[in-house]
């Protein structure tokens, strides 16, 4: 067996060193080595988006990344989205718009939405649908998810405006 | 997944050395969006995976008066985020925007798309249309191959064991020219092309006559195809519906599509004609009214 190797990386703001096998995917290491099971496995071939995490700020499917590739990277998973005990506005919007049923797709959708709103704080419905095309949901029929995404955008804008007023 | 070792060299020479250390047992890894699933399925069984993303030459993205240099490992999202490239090499950007969804585009490279050599690869027809050349490094030094000669069959290409694709070199965009890539799929996004077409049309200064054209087809043969006669037949003609329809018929003649769940031969041949005409029309529009 190929030797296990040490990978230095940052996950949700914390620098860590991981011992992993070259053949392990980032998804496997997150779930099985680190117990970060919020990141879900759907297809394991890149099609469903359930395993989406942010790598250096950009969404990638962690089932198609080798853990070794995370050397020096900054990773963000669903576990890092809520701040302290407070849900992120995106999470709140998903809850209030009933944008999930079984919930397997939800962490992936939330990570992609986070990246979308960073790149494009005020997306149209069409832009949101295209951006999220790599995330599949077998339960909701997508409408409520898209409503939650557009609602999150408004919540974030409102939160930013409130912050600006206070400062 | 089957066991393998991993290495991330920082120079082309080192990558070539690693790939040749144990013949046949090394595999380059770019974005991994094809390779990692192929490793999981056992389609490739390398002893060593050589991650080429830390090699500076493979990350070059340089637009200048001499043309475009596109490093083999540059992901699609970097290509379409560059406004200069979108203007000069529109067909390439059309391709980069439709390979998978955002998660795939953040990893998938045009180099990997070419080296994977699928008949329906979405960037290859654009590379052919834009006249790109593949720069290849191996133990014997470097060589250059025009992209239309790169793929030799489904999943097969001119790379010898242990060679790496370093970059794709594009000539400067000719004056008064426009390019476009489009595919037919039954959905709006995230699907494999049933038929696809990339083209470049160069007009004369008046904008009323075609000086030269390059048309390439995807998913209608064992490799992406350069429609040589359809292309050269356009030179000197005025871009009327009749002229473009003639080119579409000439392109249809070289298509050798197969029947599969995505479409029958007859359907694919028909769609080839329709797409060639539409893509040429868009190229003419873009040549006349640059973005
Ligand atoms: C969900 C999903 C959707 C997709 N959608 C599309 C689509 O719409 N259109 C499309 O065309 N493709 C699509 N693909 C396929 C894939 O994303 C593309 O082919 C992509 O461009 C491959 O690039 P990569 O950098 O990920 O290559 P990798 O997977 O890293 O490599 C692909 C192959 O090329 C070899 N290779 C890579 N770089 C080099 C090099 N520099 N020198 C020598 N050999 C090299 C590798 O060894 C491997 O055999 C999709 C894949 C997934 C998972
Ligand atoms: S589990 Fe990674 S995309 Fe489906
Ligand atoms: S809520 Fe079940 S897959 Fe989306």
CB of A46 within 6 A of ligand 2: the answer is yes
Q: Which residues line ligand 3 (CB under 6 A)?
A: A 100-105, 137-140
How many C-alpha atoms does B122 have within 13 Å on its Cβ side?
A: 26
Please list the rounded mean pLDDT of every run of 10 residues in chain B (291 residues): 93 96 85 97 94 98 98 98 97 97 98 98 98 97 98 97 96 98 86 94 97 97 98 98 97 93 92 98 96 76
> Which DSSP string corresponds to A70-89?
GTT-EEE-GGGTSBTTBPPH
Query: B interface mutation test: which of A4, A7, A18, A22 has the most B CBs within 10 A?
Result: A22
The whole-angstrom separation of Cα A111 and Cα A95 is 15
Residues A95 and A115 in one domain: yes
CATH number, residue A75: 3.10.20.30
Residues A162 and A93 in one domain: yes
Predicted confidence (pLDDT) at residue A99 exceeds the cutoff of 80: yes
Residues A14 and A67 in one domain: yes
Q: How many CB pairs under 8 A join A and B?
A: 90
- Give the pair of three-digit tokens for residue B242: 């009749």
User: Which pLDDT value is given to residue B24?
Assistant: 60
Q: Contacts of residue B6 in chain A, CB cutoff 8 Å? A: 2, 5, 22, 66, 68
CATH number, residue A101: 1.10.150.120
Can you give the residue range of the structural domain that contains A102? 89-166
User: Which pLDDT value is given to residue A22?
Assistant: 97
Say whether A66 and B40 touch across the interface (CB within 8 A).
no
Could you give the percent of chain A with pLDDT greater than 70?
Answer: 99
Phi, psi of B245, rounded to the nearest 5 degrees: -65, -40
Q: What is the mean pLDDT of residues A130-139?
A: 97
User: Which pLDDT value is given to residue A84?
Assistant: 87
- Give the pair of three-digit tokens for residue A157: 């804008």
Query: Is A65 near chain B, with CB under 8 Å?
Result: yes
Q: Which of A16, A45, A80 is the last residue of a domain?
A: A80
Of the partner residues A23, A45, A64, the one whose CB lies closest to the CB of residue B3:
A23
Say whether B102 and A112 touch across the interface (CB within 8 A).
yes
**pLDDT tens, residue by residue, A105-114:** 999 999 999 9
Q: Which of A56, A80, A104 is the last residue of a domain?
A: A80
Q: What is the mean pLDDT of residues A126-151?
A: 97
Q: Note the ligand closest to the C-alpha atom of B107.
A: 1
């Amino acid at each position: 067996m190929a030797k296990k190797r040490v990978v230095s990386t940052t996950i949700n703001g914390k620098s860590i060193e991981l011992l992993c096998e070259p053949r392990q995917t980032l998804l496997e290491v997150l779930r099985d080595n680190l117990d970060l099971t919020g990141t879900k496995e759907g297809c394991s071939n890149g099609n469903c988006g359930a395993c989406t995490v942010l790598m250096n700020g950009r969404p990638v499917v962690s089932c198609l990344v080798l853990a070794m590739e995370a050397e020096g990277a900054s990773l963000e998973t669903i576990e890092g989205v809520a701040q302290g005990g407070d849900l992120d506005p995106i999470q709140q919007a998903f809850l209030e718009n009933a944008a999930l049923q079984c919930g397997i797709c939800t962490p992936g959708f939330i990570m992609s939405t986070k990246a979308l709103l960073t790149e494009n704080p005020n997306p149209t419905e069409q832009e949101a649908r295209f951006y999220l095309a790599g995330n599949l949901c077998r339960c909701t029929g997508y409408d409520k998810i898209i409503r939650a995404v557009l609602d999150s955008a408004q919540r974030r804008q409102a939160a930013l405006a409130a912050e600006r007023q206070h400062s | 997944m089957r066991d393998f070792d991993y290495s991330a060299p920082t120079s082309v020479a080192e990558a070539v050395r690693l790939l040749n250390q144990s013949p046949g047992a090394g595999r380059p890894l770019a974005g991994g969006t094809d390779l990692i699933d192929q490793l999981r399925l056992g389609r490739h069984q390398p002893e060593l995976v050589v991650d080429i993303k830390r090699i500076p030459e493979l990350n070059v993205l340089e637009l200048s008066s001499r043309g475009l240099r596109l490093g083999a490992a540059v992901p699609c999202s970097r290509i379409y985020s560059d406004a200069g490239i979108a203007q000069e090499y529109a067909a390439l950007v059309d391709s980069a925007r439709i390979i998978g969804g955002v998660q795939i585009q953040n990893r998938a490279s045009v180099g990997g798309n070419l080296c994977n050599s699928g008949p329906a690869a979405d960037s290859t027809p654009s590379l052919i249309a834009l006249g790109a050349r593949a720069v290849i490094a191996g133990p014997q030094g470097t060589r250059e191959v025009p992209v239309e000669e790169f793929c030799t069959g489904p999943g097969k290409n001119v790379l010898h064991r242990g060679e790496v694709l370093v970059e794709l070199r594009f000539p400067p965009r000719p004056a008064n020219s426009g390019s476009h890539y489009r595919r037919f799929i039954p959905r709006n996004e995230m699907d494999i092309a049933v038929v696809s077409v990339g083209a470049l049309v160069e007009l004369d200064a008046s904008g009323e006559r075609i000086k030269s054209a390059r048309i390439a087809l995807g998913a209608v043969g064992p490799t992406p195809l350069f429609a040589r006669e359809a292309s050269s037949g356009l030179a000197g003609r005025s871009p009327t519906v009749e002229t473009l329809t003639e080119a579409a018929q000439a392109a249809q003649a070289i298509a050798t599509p197969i029947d599969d769940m995505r479409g029958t031969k007859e359907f694919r041949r028909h769609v080839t004609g329709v797409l060639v005409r539409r893509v040429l029309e868009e190229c003419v529009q873009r040549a006349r009214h640059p973005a």
